[in-house]
A and B are shown apart, each in its own frame.
Chain A
Amino acid sequence: MSAAKPRKRLATVWLAGCSGCHMSFLDLDEWLLELAQHADIVYSPVASDQKRYPPAVDIALVEGGVANSDNLALLKTVRANTKVLVSFGDCAIHANIPGMRNMLQGADPVLRRAYLDLADSSAQLPHAPGLIPELLDQVLPVHELVPVDVYLPGCPPSADRIRTVLEALLQDRRPDLSRAGEIRFG
Chain B
Amino acid sequence: MSVCTLRIDDQDVAIAAGSTVLQAIRSAAIAVPTLCHLDGLSPVGACRLCLVEVEGSERLLAACVTTVQDGMRIHTNSSRLQEMRRTLIELLFSEGNHICAICVANGQCELQDLAVRVGMDHSRFSYRYPNRCVDLSHPQFGLDHNRCILCTRCVRVCDEVEGAHVWDVGWRGEHCQIISGLAEPWGAVEACTNCGKCIEVCPTGALFHKGEGTDEKHGHPGRLAALVQGRSRQELEP
A interface residues (Cβ-Cβ under 8 A, vs B): 87, 90, 93-97, 99-100, 102-105, 138, 141, 143-144, 148, 151-153, 155, 177-178, 181, 183-186
Contacts and interface: CB of A to CB of B under 8 A. Distances in A.
Contacts of B127: 94-95, 99, 102, 141
A103 B107 CA distance: 24
B100 A155 contact: yes
Given A94-B123, A141-B122, 9 more contacts: A90-B100, A97-B101, A103-B132, A178-B121, A181-B116, A183-B119, A184-B115, A184-B116, A185-B101
A90 B103 CA distance: 13
Nearest to B119: A178
Pairs A-B, 6 closest by C-beta atoms: A186-B100, A155-B101, A178-B119, A151-B121, A102-B129, A185-B100
B195 interface: no
Nearest to A95: B127
B121 A153 contact: yes
A98 B224 CA distance: 37
Contacts of B99: 90, 96-97, 99-100
A11 B1 CA distance: 67
Contacts of A186: 100-101, 103, 106-107, 112
A93 B106 CA distance: 17
B122 A93 contact: yes
B101 A143 contact: no
A155 B97 CA distance: 15
A138 B128 CA distance: 11
A66 B98 CA distance: 18
Contact of A96 (B101, B126, B132): B101
* Chain B contact residues: helix, strand, loop or mixed: loop
11 contacts: A94-B127, A96-B99, A99-B127, A103-B97, A153-B121, A155-B101, A177-B121, A178-B119, A185-B101, A185-B112, A185-B115
B130 interface: yes
Interface of B: 93, 97-103, 106-107, 112, 115-116, 119-123, 126-127, 129-132
A152 to B, nearest CB: 8
A77 B176 CA distance: 42
A93 B121 CA distance: 8
A153 B99 CA distance: 12
Contacts of A99: 99, 127, 129
Contacts of A183: 115-116, 119-121
A108 B228 CA distance: 52
B97 A100 contact: yes
Contacts of B112: 184-186
Given A94-B123, A183-B116, A103 B102 contact: no
A90 B93 contact: no
Contacts of B129: 99, 102-103, 105, 138
A93 B98 CA distance: 12
Contacts of A184: 100, 112, 115-116
Contacts of B100: 90, 155, 184-186
B107 A87 contact: no
Contacts of B132: 103
Nearest to B93: A94
Nearest to A183: B121
Nearest to B146: A103
A138 B129 CA distance: 10
Contacts of A93: 121-122
Of listed A94, A138, A152, A181, residue having the most chain B CB within 10 A:
A94
A94 B132 CA distance: 18
